[in-house]
């Protein structure tokens, strides 16, 4: 609730602050037709809007990172194998930060990450403290990200739906190999419009309000 109150106040004071927040997240797409992330949300093959538990440890997969900054989508970037602290640090230095600099010249960015284990690396904390002094959101950041809050992350409640649908909505047109599994999320990302990104920004502010109405508890039923 403190998170929602803090950001509602900041947005009310300066609506443009939303354009400075870089929301980020990782997701795993499996060739057998499921999608998974740390929140254990998995999309079923037959219907991408049904969530179910599926044992996927032996399926081929592609891991992706993506971000939304204002009206820009950053990525998705492919992660080589399973994500850990060292790979995440490399991803930040080699892909994420350069992409952010290209978009936000002379702009002060507020970087957001959740509390996933790979994000807890001390080197990552030091890097973010240098790159985004006093203005990054995370478990160990100066601005705290609330645990178990995918309903506040633009990637979780908006972005990942698009590649998941593109990849698996049509059971007769599933990816046949890893190259196709990798390409389709990128194609879906490129189809996201500026209008959709404008709408999702408003949606984020609405969700902050719903969060406060629900006193920091579950608020999806209010949307």
**CATH code of the domain covering residue 18:** 3.30.420.10
User: What are 118-135's pLDDT values in tens digits?
Assistant: 998 899 999 999 999 999
For residue 179, the enclosing domain spans 2-222
| 90 within 8 A of 103, measured Cβ to Cβ | no
Cβ contacts of 48 within 8 Å, gap of 6 or more: 161, 164, 165, 168, 169
Output the six-digit token pair for 169.
């909505």
| 203 within 8 A of 186, measured Cβ to Cβ | no
> What pLDDT, on the 0 to 100 scale, is given for residue 42?
36
Return the beta strands (E) in 31-108 as ranges. Answer: 35-36, 61-69, 72-79
> What pLDDT, on the 0 to 100 scale, is given for residue 89?
96
User: What are 147-170's pLDDT values in tens digits?
Assistant: 888 889 999 989 998 878 777 766
The count of domains in the chain is 1
What band does 46 get if pLDDT is binned at 50, 70 and 90? very low
- Among the residue ranges 60-64, 86-90, 164-168, 192-196, the one predicted with the least confidence is 164-168
| Best-predicted range by mean pLDDT (30-39, 66-75, 182-191) | 66-75
- Predicted TM-score (pTM) of the model is 0.85
Among 27, 26, 49, 23, which Cα is nearest to 201's?
23
What band does 40 get if pLDDT is binned at 50, 70 and 90? very low
**How many residues appear in the chain?**
223
């Amino acid at each position: 609730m403190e998170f929602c109150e803090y950001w509602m106040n900041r947005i009310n004071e300066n609506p443009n602050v939303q354009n400075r927040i870089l929301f980020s997240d990782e997701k795993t797409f499996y060739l057998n037709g499921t999608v998974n992330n740390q929140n254990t949300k998995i999309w079923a093959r037959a219907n991408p809007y049904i969530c179910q538990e599926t044992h996927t440890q032996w399926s081929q997969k592609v891991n992706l990172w993506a971000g939304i900054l204002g009206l820009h989508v950053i990525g998705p970037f492919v992660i080589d194998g399973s994500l850990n602290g060292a790979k995440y640090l490399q991803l930040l230095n080699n892909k994420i930060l350069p992409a952010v600099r290209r978009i936000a010249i002379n702009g002060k960015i507020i970087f957001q990450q959740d509390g996933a284990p790979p994000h807890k690396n001390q080197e990552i904390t030091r890097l973010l403290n240098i790159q985004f002094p006093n203005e990054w959101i995370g478990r160990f950041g100066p601005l705290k990200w609330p645990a178990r809050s995918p309903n506040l992350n633009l990637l979780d409640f908006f972005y990942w739906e698009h590649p998941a649908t593109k990849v698996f909505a049509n059971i007769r047109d599933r990816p046949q190999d890893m190259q196709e599994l990798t390409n389709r999320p990128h194609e879906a990302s490129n189809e996201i419009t500026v209008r959709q990104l404008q709408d999702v920004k408003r949606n984020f502010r609405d969700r902050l309000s719903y969060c406060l109405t629900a006193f920091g508890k579950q608020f999806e039923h209010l949307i």
